[in-house]
């Protein structure tokens, strides 16, 4: 079903009647996908309910659908408890957390060292904030090429397509990536997201890590490839790709599922990999942490540059930013209860919303950090 957002703040009161939305980082959410193919996680943990009745969270709209699922499960597990999530964007999430308005901030990127970490330390009464990667959503490379439903691309070829160096579907490099099979001699029409987008930033970070010789444009929330046409939001990208032959774009997986778009396989060096819950989960399972202690900042460069077999490394991670210490006792108790539910039993509801349920190994890392919040 398609859920429209009414108002800036959406109260997530979990009484079992809340409809679940799919992943998206704009103001439109697609219908829930047809399932990720990943087995539902079985992890669970003891939840110490209580504390603050109404938690406040704000930030990345890419995790909006996941937060709906988490809130529903939280309310079922802890009767009378609820969380209100405002999907206002990562920048606002950090600002509202650091300003003491939000108990939890949601961001597609960890706190930046310096101004942001300093402000967070002040907000947390002298103790550091932690970045906890709780939500993972794959980024798909959808295309429309009449008569073709199976396309494999390498990171280098993707980079060259999105800089305009590869211009036609029958280019020799695309033919080579597809085992010598030539695709139709049609021009490639690149579609990218207009304005600032965490999905764009992660896609460009991926290309910089996986294809450094072919993508020298850098990263950032604005598309810097220098070719193609823009579309409004993730829904606009998916709709534009679906509407015209020869198109290609990048978008959160749930939007590609919603429009039933063909998605390119990616060959990072160990064979073509189809995007699925299993292959994205394999990448998450092997993700390395570069933060210290319970500050679980991911080494995205290593993740994106991975050449592991049967692994789809192009995934977007959303962090929950929390105080390691510094909450009042009621807030700390409720934050820990919510995050415990979100990291364990609530993960089983994510697959149909276009996200990847956390592997048990990653759940364990998160639970260790959550238990340490004081």
- Specify binding-site residues for phosphate: 60-62, 90, 108, 197-199
Instruction: Enumerate the known binding-site residues.
Output: 60-62, 90, 108, 197-199
- Determine whether 348 is exposed, middle or buried from the number of CB atoms within 10 Å of its CB (0-12, 13-18, 19+): middle
Question: What number of other Cβ atoms are within 10 A of residue 79's Cβ?
Answer: 9
Residue-wise over 1-18: b if at least 16 C-beta within 10 A, else e? eebeeeeeebebebeeeb
Residue-wise over 35-51: b if at least 16 C-beta within 10 A, else e? ebebeebebebebebeb
Question: Taking Cα atoms as reference points, which of 26, 100, 1, 44 lies closest to residue 331?
Answer: 100
User: Angle, to 10 degrees, between the axis of helix 90-98 and the axis of helix 115-123?
Assistant: 40
* Cα 8 to Cα 371: distance, rounded to the nearest angstrom: 31
* β-strand pairing of 54-59 with 265-267: unpaired
Residue 254: left if φ>0, alpha if ψ -120 to 50, beta else—which one? alpha
């Amino acid at each position: 079903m398609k859920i429209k957002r009414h108002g800036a703040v959406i109260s997530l009161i979990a009484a079992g009647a809340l409809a679940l939305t799919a992943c998206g980082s704009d103001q439109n959410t697609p219908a829930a996908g047809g399932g990720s193919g990943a087995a539902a996680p079985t992890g669970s943990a003891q939840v110490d309910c209580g504390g603050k009745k109404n938690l406040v969270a704000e930030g990345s709209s890419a995790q909006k659908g996941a937060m709906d699922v988490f809130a529903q499960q939280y309310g079922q597990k802890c009767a009378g408890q609820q969380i209100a999530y405002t999907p206002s964007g990562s920048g606002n999430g950090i600002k509202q957390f650091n300003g003491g308005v939000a108990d939890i901030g949601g961001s597609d990127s960890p706190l930046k060292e310096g101004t942001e970490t300093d402000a967070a330390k002040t907000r947390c009464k002298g103790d550091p904030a932690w970045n906890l990667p709780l939500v993972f959503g794959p980024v798909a490379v959808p295309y429309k090429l009449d008569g073709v439903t199976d396309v494999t691309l390498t990171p280098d070829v993707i980079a060259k397509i999105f800089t305009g160096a590869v211009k036609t579907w029958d280019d020799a490099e695309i033919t080579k990536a597809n085992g010598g099979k030539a695709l139709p001699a049609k021009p490639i029409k690149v579609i990218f997201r207009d304005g600032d987008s965490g999905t764009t930033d992660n896609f460009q970070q991926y290309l910089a890590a996986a294809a450094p010789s072919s993508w020298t444009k850098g990263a950032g929330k604005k598309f810097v490839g220098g070719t193609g046409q823009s579309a409004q939001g993730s829904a606009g990208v998916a709709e534009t790709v679906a509407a015209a032959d020869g198109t290609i774009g990048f978008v959160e997986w749930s939007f590609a599922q919603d429009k039933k778009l063909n998605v390119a396989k990616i060959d990072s060096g160990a064979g073509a990999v189809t995007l699925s819950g299993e292959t994205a989960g394999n990448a998450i399972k092997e993700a390395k942490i570069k933060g210290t202690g319970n500050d679980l900042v991911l080494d995205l460069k290593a993740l994106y540059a991975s050449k592991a077999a049967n692994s789809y490394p192009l995934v977007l991670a959303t962090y929950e930013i929390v105080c390691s210490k510094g909450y009042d006792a009621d807030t700390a108790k409720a934050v820990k209860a919510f995050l415990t539910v979100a990291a364990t039993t609530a993960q089983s509801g994510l697959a149909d919303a276009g996200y990847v349920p956390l592997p048990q190994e990653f759940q364990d890392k998160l639970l260790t950090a959550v238990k340490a919040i004081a």
